[in-house]
Structure 1
Amino acid sequence: MAHTYPEAYIDYLAEYFGSRDFFECHEIMEEYWKKTSGSELSGCWLVLIRIAVVQYHARRGNGAGAYKLLIKAAEEIQPRLMDRLGLDGERLARMLKERAQAWGGPEGVRYEDFELPIADPELLRLAQARCAEKGWIWASPGQQAPGEIVHRHLTRDRTDVVAARKDAAAIRAASREERK
């Protein structure tokens, strides 16, 4: 059975398993998620974004951020749709719940590699090939990532993102005031 996967998804997986640059994974998938907003798979892309950000926060020692997003990903995952993306959706859902239980809360967060369960051999082949094209080693340990990857957010100009979040917060605050 032939599958056609979005290039952004293959790039995400190559980064996730190769460079272990979880911030970049988030950026790649967030851009794609925004372009395909409202699609049937939109929730899947968001879960993958959350998983990358969980890993990013956990590795940086931000237990509160990592745990909060892990819980959201575990609640939002739709295993059958994840299966359509070449992943083992049931296994991934189980892995998210098991990690949440193991951590028990923000204070229990510890970084360890979280390997997405790729079920489709063709997806695995495509992602490994992309990883090799970039010169990365597949499934390299994330604990060995260089500091510029661990703290990627400090090197990026995110002025537009900060402004958008500020605007969204102002809209939410105005909405709360209107309801009073």
Structure 2
Amino acid sequence: MYPIEYIQFLTHFHGDRDYFECHEILEEYWKKTDPGNKKSIWVGLIQLAVSCYHHRRGNYNGATRTLEKAIKILESKTVTVTSLGLNQQLLHELLMKQLSVIKGKEDYISINLPLSDPSLIERCKLFCEEQGFLWGKESDITNVDLVDRHKLRDRTEVIEERYRSLTMRKSSE
């Protein structure tokens, strides 16, 4: 009923709190299923994870900007939000509170999305257990590998692709 990528997203969001991985999983899914649609529900969820990532790192401006974009998308997709097993009203309240916390430059605290489908929750908890994560555990803000994940990833492919594109543009001029 739910895409496995969504289950994986929820598992990381509520389990190991690896928001970077949440972003990676849903971005790949979004590009397969709804490419180019910047108002896709998947983009809204990606932005929510990115906002949590920025907030945890103390990047309040980045967290605010991405959460505001996420709210705009998620509030325009009420039927889809509900079909993904989320309580729309509670999600709205949570995100507005989170935005206030971020704008107030308050410390990061892990949030849990208001899932309303018991079978989805059980499936996510099982997947979490299989991955060795504890569902609902607070984020370990002392874990540099988690908090600064974007700095630690291998960017060789991205750099090589940018170089290839630049070379092609220059050769066509």
> 2:131 aligned with 1:130, yes or no?
no
Give the letter for the 1:7 counterpart.
I
Q: Distance in 2 between matches of 1:111 and 1:163?
A: 35
> 2:8 aligned with 1:11, yes or no?
yes
Secondary structure of residue in 2 paired with 1:19 = coil
Q: Is the 8 A contact 2:20 2:50 kept in 1?
A: yes
Post-superposition offset of 1:47: 1.2
Instruction: Tell me which residue corresponds to 2:67.
Output: 70
How many positions carry a matched residue from both structures? Answer: 162
Structure 1: runs of 5 or more not aligned: 167-180
Percent pairwise identity: 39
Pick closer, same or farther for the CA change 1:134–1:145 going to 2, 3 Å.
farther
Instruction: Tell me which residue corresponds to 1:88.
Output: 87
Post-superposition offset of 1:157: 2.2
The Cα offsets for residues 10-34 of structure 1, whole Å up to 9 and x where unpaired, read as 1111111111111011101111111
Q: Distance in 2 between matches of 1:17 and 1:136?
A: 9
Q: Distance in 1 between matches of 2:160 and 2:99?
A: 32
Give the TM-score, by structure 1 length: 0.79
Give the letter for the 1:93 counterpart.
H
Q: Is the 8 A contact 2:141 2:147 kept in 1?
A: no
Post-superposition offset of 1:60: 0.9
Structure 1 segments of 4+ aligned residues over 4 angstroms from their partners: 159-166
Pick closer, same or farther for the CA change 1:24–1:79 going to 2, 3 Å.
same
> 2:110 aligned with 1:100, yes or no?
no
Deviates more, 1:58-67 or 1:89-98: 89-98
The Cα offsets for residues 119-154 of structure 1, whole Å up to 9 and x where unpaired, read as 001110111000000111111111456210111111
Q: Is the 8 A contact 1:8 1:32 kept in 2?
A: yes
Q: Is the 8 A contact 1:58 1:66 kept in 2?
A: yes
Structure 2: runs of 5 or more not aligned: 164-173
Root-mean-square deviation (CA, aligned residues, Å) is: 2.6
2:48 pairs with 38, 47, 51, which one? 51
Post-superposition offset of 1:80: 2.2
1:150 pairs with 147, 152, 157, which one? 147
Q: Is the 8 A contact 1:33 1:46 kept in 2?
A: yes
Give the letter for the 1:84 counterpart.
S
The Cα offsets for residues 5-58 of structure 1, whole Å up to 9 and x where unpaired, read as 111111111111111111011101111111111699x72111111111111111
Give the letter for the 1:14 counterpart.
T
Give the letter for the 2:20 counterpart.
F
Q: Distance in 1 between matches of 2:159 and 2:71?
A: 26
